[in-house]
Amino acid sequence: MEAYLKENFDIPDMKRSSEARLMWRRAVGQLILSRRHRHRFRESSDLVTIDDLISSRSHRLPLEFLEHITKNFCEERILGRGGSGRVYKGVLDNGEMIAVKKVESMLGTTKECERAQKQFENEVNLLMRLKHPNIVHLLGYCYKTQDALLPHDGKYFFCWQIDSLLCLEFLPQSLDNHISDATSGLDWHTRYKIIEGISKGLQYLHEQSDVPTIHLDLKPANILLDANMVPKIADFGISRLFDQGQTIHTKTTNGTLGYMPPEFFRGIITPMSDIFSFGVIIMEVITGDRDYPYDLKDSSDEYTNTELGKWRNVLEKEPGHTNLETDCQQIKKCIQIGLMCVNPERKKRPTIRKITNILQGLESTVCYSSN
């Protein structure tokens, strides 16, 4: 194989430099990938199904296959855009749909590309090990590097170009398109199902998976919904692994303003970062607004009563509504959980286990004032 690679990929002496070793690794990876998949995926007439993708053990997919199913990543196939790139609809030959997330292709020095490679590896590794009905399902990935000669400042420079792609189960909508106040949009039961689903996904992330994970960018645009409005947590681009009880100190504070807890700006990351973001999401799902009282001690009861009152008005007008008091109790419980989650003092926020217990009626909410 070494001779083949040297001949075909112009690889210099392996021991000469770390750059050469990196090139070697990439070339070997590409060769294995293309040999394995050439037969199975290259021809557009090959019938590939979602089941094939799920059962494929390596999850690696050739770029040509992804170009084929996304019509060369054309504009009309764009499902959404985010900070790291675009997400396209991929249509398999049997009509099944998948989502293809194309991380902005990167150009740069070997060092920069190595860092980008590490981040992508981290996300793929993480997603491959996460399996839960409320977490988006990874179907495959593609990672392709090539060198490019680019003009800059009147000179030409060699640099690496990286294409990184993730294939995910296709989900028709995201939660940010369903944020509205009580008078319009989703009914209470659907909203409750969404809050409950996110909490189960988050409990799996924090406590139950073999790779305890802090998501770090929970917000409605990163919560996808299936045809039955079951929520799935997506976008693990900046997620971090953690050991129980560990606090991560970081200088990089990525995330989305409005969903990040105060301590995040001091570089402190714990699972409580996600709990804060979840609290903001709960408020938004119930009220349609990201606002909540900043002075929780004095204003939380008033806030709870006002928002509950709005829902009571809506539910009373619903024809044939029979469970008014039960639903109001549920709404009140969710508002209280939301308020506990957005506590500026991270140690006073509830763990995700406590939240799911409260939702299931196994524990009661503790009023903010007694915290």
Using the minimum distance from each CB to ligand ADP, give the nearer residue, 188 or 278.
278
Asked if 235 touches Mg ion (CB under 5 A), the answer is yes
Interface map 121-140 toward ligand ADP (x if CB under 6 A): ---------------x----
For the record, the structure tokens of 197 come out as 């689903």
Q: Of 69, 175, 161, 39, whose CA–CA distance to 112 is shortest?
A: 161
170 binds, among ligand ADP, Mg ion, none (CB under 5 to 8 A by kind): ligand ADP
Backbone angles phi, psi at 366, to 5 degrees: -100, 125
- Which single residue is written with the structure tokens 């557009």? 44
DSSP code for 184: S
Q: Catalytic: which of 46, 147, 187, 217?
A: 217
In the complex, least distance from residue 227 CB atom to ligand ADP, rounded to whole angstroms: 12
Among 48, 168, 205, 342, binds ligand ADP (CB under 6 A): 168
Q: Of 23, 36, 233, 215, whose CA–CA distance to 142 is shortest?
A: 36
* Stretch of 38-46, 74-82, 136-144, 307-315 lying at the interface with Mg ion (CB under 5 A): 74-82
Q: Residues 91 to 120: which contact ligand ADP by CB under 6 A? A: 99, 101
Contact (Cβ atoms closer than 8 angstroms) between residue 30 and residue 60: no
Burial of 185-217, coded b for 16+ CB within 10 Å and e otherwise, reads ebebeebbbbbbbbbbbbbbbbeebeebbbbbb
The residue count for binding ligand ADP (CB under 6 A) is 22
Q: How far apart are CA 16 and CA 8, in angstroms?
A: 19
Q: Give ∠ CA 232-218-206 in degrees, rounded to 5.
A: 75
286 binds, among Mg ion, ligand ADP, none (CB under 5 to 8 A by kind): none
Among 59, 77, 82, 161, binds Mg ion (CB under 5 A): 82
CA atoms within 13 A on the CB side of 115: 6
For 201-259, the DSSP string reads HHHIIIIISSS-EE----SGGGEEE-TT--EEE---TT-EE--TT--EE-S---S-TTT
* Stretch of 44-52, 228-236, 322-330, 349-357 lying at the interface with Mg ion (CB under 5 A): 228-236
Q: How far apart are CA 159 and CA 106, in angstroms?
A: 10
| Active-site annotation holds for 163 | no
- Which single residue is written with the structure tokens 């469970």? 323
Among 70, 84, 300, 304, binds ligand ADP (CB under 6 A): 84
Among 234, 280, 334, 352, binds ligand ADP (CB under 6 A): 234
Neighbour count for residue 223 (Cβ, 10 Å): 27
Q: Residues 38 to 77: which contact ligand ADP by CB under 6 A? A: none
In the complex, least distance from residue 166 CB atom to Mg ion, rounded to whole angstroms: 12
Interface map 244-283 toward ligand ADP (x if CB under 6 A): ----------------------------------------
In the complex, least distance from residue 213 CB atom to ligand ADP, rounded to whole angstroms: 15
In the complex, least distance from residue 180 CB atom to ligand ADP, rounded to whole angstroms: 17
Q: Residues 306 to 365: which contact Mg ion by CB under 5 A? A: none
53 binds, among Mg ion, ligand ADP, none (CB under 5 to 8 A by kind): none
| List of residues contacting ligand ADP (CB under 6 A) | 79-85, 87, 99, 101, 136, 168-171, 174, 221-222, 224, 234-235, 237
Active site residues: 217
| List of residues contacting Mg ion (CB under 5 A) | 82, 222, 235
